[in-house]
């Protein structure tokens, strides 16, 4: 738990200092001022051994965690520190969105080498705090520690949900429609742009792809609308790839699925970048991952109401991209003429070596 303590001695300029020079407690004191930490539900927050939080009667407590590791999820200085902080918040907020929940409290632990500039750490926390503030969540504690050779950001996010509206992965039924929010493949395109000099791609599309990779937009409003409809039977966020995450949902629900290739919303940036490097845009949309859109199985009778609610709220559009089928039919993606364009799901797996 972070415990603020002011450093002794004259004022120091963090732009020219490392975390070793300012010390753990001097760093914590600076970071506290960058984070949203006050809320009526927080009885005791940053500064004690344990946070004390007030929950509403009749509400469910939701919890998720995720981490961002240098050399695995990002490289420095390729990603701006501010966007890294936003990303660390967004991937957790997206999990909360997939449950139809409301994010409230976060605990963030940071590990850095002792030579890390204070200014870099401050930018990470500024991005993290601003991302949380957009959705009404606050930081209630955390930890700082030394790491021998890389930056690690570990986040636990807590929130609340209505007992009648929390959406799991496991409720899909045969005959349900499969819908997805937004567009897909832009994050994979952004990763490609970061790895190579793609002068043939229009700059606005290249910038959009890189931004989607480093600063995904958690679909919290969309998640709550879907949960409130009462017509969503299962939901998951698209972090491991559309086919992979649909596979997770199908396995949890004991069903199969068919996707309509022509209905998959390929992002314009994905289309442009993929074609520039000679890759299939649909492949990136299906398997690229880290788009953080919402994928849901919905009662066909509720589609019109869901579509209207999205239009009235002016949020990211959702569209039908497939249907739930019996388990024995498996998981596949087909074109309008019935020919298959994708095989079994292939989700991102941290412990499996991926082919390029």
- Binding residues are 49, 64, 66, 73, 95, 125, 142-143, 169, 237, 239-240, 290, 348
Measure the CA–CA gap between 111 and 151, rounded to whole angstroms: 6
Residue 113 · residue 149 · CB < 8 Å:
yes
End-to-end CA distance of the chain: 40
- In angstroms, what CA-CA distances link 192 with 139, 251, 272? 33, 31, 11
- Residue 47 per-residue DSSP state: T
Binding residues for substrate: 73, 290, 348
Residue 64's nearest CA partner among 228, 257, 223 is 223
Measure the CA–CA gap between 250 and 233, rounded to whole angstroms: 12
Residue 180 · residue 295 · CB < 8 Å:
yes
Measure the CA–CA gap between 179 and 317, rounded to whole angstroms: 10
Binding residues for ATP: 125, 142-143, 169, 239
Q: Tokens 């500039």: give the residue.
A: 117
Residue 243 · residue 162 · CB < 8 Å:
no
Dig out the tokens for 203 from the structure: 């700059």
Phi, psi of 162 (to 5 degrees): -75, 130
Q: Exposure of 78 by Cβ count < 10 A (0-12 exposed, 13-18 middle, 19+ buried)? A: exposed
Binding residues for Mg(2+): 49, 64, 66, 95, 143, 237, 240
Please report, for the chain, how many H helices and E strands are present, in that order.
Answer: 11, 13
């Amino acid at each position: 738990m972070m415990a603020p303590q002011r450093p002794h001695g004259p004022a120091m300029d963090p732009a020219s200092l490392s975390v070793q020079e300012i010390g753990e407690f001097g760093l914590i004191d600076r970071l506290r001022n960058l984070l949203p930490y006050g809320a009526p539900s927080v009885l005791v927050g940053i500064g004690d051994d344990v946070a004390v939080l007030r929950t509403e009667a009749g509400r469910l407590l939701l919890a998720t965690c995720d981490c961002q590791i240098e050399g695995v999820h990002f490289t420095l200085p390729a990603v701006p520190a501010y966007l890294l902080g936003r990303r660390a918040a967004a991937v957790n907020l997206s999990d909360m969105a997939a449950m139809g929940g409301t994010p409230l409290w976060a605990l963030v632990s940071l590990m850095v080498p002792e030579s890390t500039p204070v200014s870099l750490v401050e930018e990470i926390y500024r991005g993290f705090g601003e991302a949380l503030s957009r959705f009404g969540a606050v930081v209630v504690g955390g930890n700082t520690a030394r790491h021998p050779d890389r930056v690690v950001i570990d986040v636990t996010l807590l929130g609340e949900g209505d007992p009648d509206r929390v959406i799991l992965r496991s409720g899909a039924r045969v005959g349900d429609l499969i819908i997805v929010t937004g567009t897909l493949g832009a994050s994979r395109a952004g990763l490609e742009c970061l790895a190579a000099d793609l002068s043939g791609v229009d700059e606005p599309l290249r910038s959009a792809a890189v931004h989607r990779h480093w600063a995904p937009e958690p679909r919290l409003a969309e998640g709550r609308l879907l949960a409130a409809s009462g017509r969503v039977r299962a939901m998951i966020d698209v972090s491991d790839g559309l086919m992979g995450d649909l596979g997770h949902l199908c396995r949890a629900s004991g069903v199969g699925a068919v996707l309509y290739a022509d209905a998959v919303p390929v992002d314009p940036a994905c289309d442009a970048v993929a074609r520039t490097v000679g890759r299939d845009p649909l492949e990136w949309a299906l398997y690229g991952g880290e788009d953080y859109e919402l994928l849901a199985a919905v009662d066909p009778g509720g589609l019109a109401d869901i579509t209207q609610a999205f239009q009235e709220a002016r949020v990211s559009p959702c569209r039908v991209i497939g249907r739930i089928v019996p388990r024995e039919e498996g998981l596949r993606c087909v074109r309008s003429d019935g020919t298959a364009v994708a095989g079994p799901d292939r989700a991102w797996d941290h412990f499996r070596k991926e082919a390029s």
